[in-house]
Structure 1
C-alpha cells in the first residue's frame, strides 16, 4: 500500500477540518438562556432573576448559575440570591439548592429543593427545611428583577438607634 504524499495528507487534513466546521455549525446552538433551560425541564422561567450573567450545566445535571453580585427580589416573600447558585437539575426539580434563601417571619431560611410535581396543578413546592411551602406557579412566570443587596440596605430609614444619636 502506497503512503500518501505530504501534499495529499495536508489536503486530507484540510478537508477533515472543513467537515468538522460544517458539522459544528449544524449542531444545536448552546446559547440557550438559563430561563429557556428551566422551561425545557418543566420549571418556570421566573425561578431565577433576569440578572443571571452565565450558567453551566454538566451532563450529570449539576447546575451552576452566576450573577454579578448577590441580590434580593420578591415573589410572595423576599428571596436572596447569592452570586453563585448551585443545584441538581432534573425534570421538574432543582434539588440540593445552595445559594438561595427565602424570608419567612423575619428569618432567612435556605431553600433546599424546588419541585413542580404536576404543572397542571398550578403549584410549585419550596422545601425550606423546617417546612414545605406551596406557591402559585403564576408567581414565577417571568424572571424578576433582582436588586443588589446594598441598594436595599441604603434605602432603609435610620430615624432611631445609635445612628440617630450621633
Structure 2
C-alpha cells in the first residue's frame, strides 16, 4: 500500500513540474511585439526562433527567407537583427522593401500614433497604415505569389459567371 501511495505522489509531482515548466516558456515574438507597443504583424509567420537581450538587441531566425506583400513588397532574410524599444525598432538588418523598382534596406520602424507605422530607409521614411500589420502575414517563397493568388481567384470568378 505504501508503494502505491509513493507512486501516486511521484506521478502528481511529475505533472506539477511539467505545468511549471510549460508556464515559464517565453512568449512568441508575435506576442512580444505588442508588449513593446508594436503590431504583431510586423514579422511573417515563419519565425523559427528569437533571442532578446536586456538592452533590446535581438536576433530573429526565420525558417527561410521570404516575401510579404503589404502596401509595398517586403523581403525578409533568414536572419533579422535590430534593437527594440517601446514603440520603435532601430538598427535593423535583414529586411528590405521594394519602392518603385528598387530594393531598399529598412533601417528602422516606429509607431506614429495612433494610425501609422513609419518605416525608415536611411534618411528617408514612409508611413503605412497600422491596420496592415494587425494580422501575422504569411511568408511566401516568391515575390509574385500574391499576384498568382489574385489571378487564380479572378479566373475562378470568371469561370463561375
Q: TM-score, normalised by structure 1?
A: 0.71
Structure of larger gyration radius = 1
1:68 is aligned to 2:63: yes
How many Å separate the matches in 1 of 2:88 and 2:39?
Answer: 10
Residues 1:145 and 2:138 are matched in the alignment? yes
CA RMSD after TM alignment = 2.4
Corresponding residue to 1:52 among 33, 42, 47? 47
Counterpart Cα distance in 2 of 1:83 and 1:59 = 23
Q: Give matches, 1:1-166, under 5 Å.
A: 25=20, 29-118=24-113, 121-149=114-142
Deviation readout 1:75-134 (Å, 9 max, x if unpaired): 10100000000010110011000000000011000001000142xx21110001252100
* Structure 1 ranges of 4+ moved more than 4 A: 149-152
- Which ranges of structure 1 fall in alignment gaps of 5 or more residues? 1-17, 156-166
Q: Which runs of 5+ in 2 are unaligned?
A: 1-12, 149-161
Q: Distance in 2 between matches of 1:42 and 1:27?
A: 26
| 1:70–1:149 contact (8 Å) kept in structure 2 | no
Alpha-carbon distance, 1:63 to partner: 1.1
Number of equivalent positions:
131
**Counterpart of 2:96 in 1: which secondary structure?**
strand
Task: Report how far residue 26 of structure 1 moved.
Answer: 8.2
Report the alpha carbon displacement of residue 29 of structure 1 after superposing the two structures with TM: 2.4
SS, match of residue 64 in structure 2? coil
CA distance in 2, matches of 1:149, 1:83: 14
